[in-house]
Structure 1
Amino acid sequence: MQKGTPEYGEALEAVIEILRQQARMGARPIPYGDLSRELARRGHHVPPHEGSMPYLLEDASVQESPDGSLPLLSALVVLKDTGWPSTGFFKLARRAPYGRQGDDVVLWTREIEKLAEHYAAS
């Protein structure tokens, strides 16, 4: 699946829908494998740790918050072994226009709290 194709766009919309749903349920993190299985159930075959997955997660966050004012949806996707997001999330969160501050624990905790708050209200 290549970025910019209709297939990618459909998978991106599915990722956003799944992560919004997770956020509405109290911003409960979802492991990469579970996200991949849910995408496959919806007809989008995206391996959990390779291929398009990192791009889809980044694009989901960027599409939801292009100016950095909203919490990043990709904070919800975690590694099964650690229960933490990958380094890609932290790189995205710290770059412009997001500019999130704090060590990894503080940054991620705040983002999860903001997701729960924002999506509980929507």
Structure 2
Amino acid sequence: MEYTKENLEAVRDIIIDLYKEKGRAIYYSELSEVLEAKGTPLHHRSPKMPELLEAISIHEEKNNRGMFSVMVVAKKSRVSGEGFFTLAQQLGRDFEDPKTFAEEERKRVSAIWGLV
């Protein structure tokens, strides 16, 4: 699916606002609830959720702002989904421990957006 720059940045801004409100990475289900409330129903388990987050990460990475989808995690594991790590490898990111990589990337993205 194709997303416009405006669509991607609007969802990114929703994630930033939720992050500020919660003081932590947000859950896929929380993002889903807000998107639905704004008229864009997208179930957190829909295959379109990782597609959307991947598109945001690619857009943000191209603008030197990191893999932004790291700000959204699974409620149970508190870690980004497998697609995040697959994309990281496709983007040439090297890491041994996925959890450590995600924590470092979240710190980087948080610092870029003033969320620390």
Question: What is the TM-score when the length of structure 2 is the normalising length?
Answer: 0.82
Residue 117 in structure 1 maps to residue 111 in structure 2: yes
Residue of structure 2 in register with 1:79 after alignment: 74
Contact preservation (8 Å) 2:56, 2:69: yes
TM-aligned CA deviation for residue 27 of structure 1 = 7.0
Shift of 1:21: 3.1
5+ long unaligned stretches in structure 2: none
Opposite residue 94 of structure 1, the aligned amino acid is: Q
Partner deviation per Cα, 1:5-50 (whole Å, 9 max, x = no partner) = xxx5465343211123356679721111100001111111111011
5+ residue gaps, structure 1: none
> What pairs up with 1:1-122 in 2 under 5 angstroms?
3-4=1-2, 9=4, 12-22=8-18, 28-66=24-62, 69-96=64-91, 98-120=92-114
Q: What is the aligned-residue RMSD (CA, Å)? A: 2.4
The alignment of Structure 1 onto Structure 2 pairs a total of residues equal to 114
Please list every run of at least 4 consecutive aligned residues from structure 1 whose deviation after the TM superposition is greater than 6 angstroms: none
Given the superposition, is the C-alpha separation of residues 44 and 55 from structure 1 closer, same or farther in structure 2, using an over 3 Å criterion?
same
In structure 2, C-alpha distance between the alignment counterparts of 1:116 and 1:62, rounded to whole Å: 17
What is the Cα deviation at residue 64 of structure 1? 1.3
Contact 1:27 1:112 in 2 (8 A): no
* TM-score normalized with structure 1 length: 0.78
Q: How far apart are residue 51 of structure 1 and its match?
A: 3.4
Tell me the alpha carbon deviations over residues 41-90 of structure 1, each in whole angstroms, 9 at most, x when there is no partner: 111111101131111000011111226x3321100111111111111111
Where relative contact order (Cα < 8 A, 6+ residues apart) is larger, the structure is 1
